[in-house]
Amino acid sequence: MRLLVISDIHSNLEALQACLEVAPEYDRVANLGDLIGYGASPNEVIETARELSGIVVRGNHDRACSGLIDIRNFNPIAGTAALWTRSMLHAENLLWIRKLPQGPLRSEDLPGVQFVHGSPMDEDEYIMNSLAARDALDLVDTPITFFGHTHIQGGAALTNRDLLAVTLQWESRKTLEQYTVQIDGAARYLINPGSVGQPRDGDWRAGFAVYDSDAATVTFYRVPYPIDLAQHRIIAANLPPRLASRLREGR
């Protein structure tokens, strides 16, 4: 099976469309949450995600924007965007977001794989360093965990008690690129496909991944998209300008 894995779209329609346009042929989709928040196209992103179907895990911004959690723990910019998004959501999209399940999620036709937003233990936890990665991998026996939340593409592998980073090598920040990692059947993995709509690794290009269960590979992609249009939508919606400028910075 070839699985398209996307995460952290954050209402960035232009980035999502660019990823879908260049994605290779796939059988199913796994969406790791935070479809909305920050960006200016929440309804369009939700409707696209609903058409794609597949596995969808809820994210913290999905919960905040749909009123399932209090936004007082959000920073002021994120909170402002969440309230704006909530006011803009169509009734059917609001209901769909509220019904999204909490991870980990699994699928019978993908044995040995699970899907979460934050970590396997806590949907709101950020796996940002080797200590957090080892803690997670020590506590799960699932060979591959796909996670999002950090907006940083890559991950970690645990084999023979050694923790290894899944590092990616990019040559450009202007063109479409891909990088394939071979999965070691003796290891356990945490894999982040990257953020579609708001990368935070200094690279502005949209990120996603494709998992090939037959070939035992994960191919990561970085995709240029019409960022000016996404920024214009944010400014036109009177959302905080920082939400527009950070897209270009990849932060």
DSSP-assigned letters across all residues of 139-194: H---SEEE--SS---EEEEEETTEEEEE----S-SSS-EEEEEEPPTTSEEEEE--
Residue 70 and residue 108: Cα distance in Å, rounded? 34
Residue 169 confidence (pLDDT) above 90: no
H/E segment holding residue 65: helix 60-65
- State the pLDDT confidence band at 64, using cuts at 50, 70 and 90: very high
Say if strands 206-212 and 217-223 run parallel, antiparallel, or are unpaired. antiparallel
- State the pLDDT confidence band at 20, using cuts at 50, 70 and 90: very high
pLDDT at 167: 86
Whole-number percent of the chain with pLDDT over 70: 100
Residue 73 confidence (pLDDT) above 90: no
- State the pLDDT confidence band at 146, using cuts at 50, 70 and 90: very high
pLDDT in tens, 240-251: 999 999 999 998
Residue 191 and residue 193: Cα distance in Å, rounded? 6
Residues facing 114 on adjacent strands: 145
pLDDT in tens, 177-191: 999 999 999 999 999
Half-sphere exposure of residue 193: CA atoms within 13 angstroms, side-chain side: 35
Residue 4 and residue 94: Cα distance in Å, rounded? 24
Q: Which two tokens stand for residue 42?
A: 């929440």
Residue 135 confidence (pLDDT) above 90: yes
Q: Which amino acid is at 233?
A: R
Residue 50 confidence (pLDDT) above 90: yes
pLDDT at 72: 87
Is residue 105 within 8 Å of 57, Cβ to Cβ? yes
| Across 225-235, average pLDDT | 98
> In whole angstroms, how far apart are CA 201 and each of 76, 127, 132, 196?
22, 14, 18, 12
Residue 3 and residue 194: Cα distance in Å, rounded? 15
- State the pLDDT confidence band at 83, using cuts at 50, 70 and 90: very high
| Across 52-74, average pLDDT | 95
Residue 34 and residue 11: Cα distance in Å, rounded? 9
pTM: 0.96
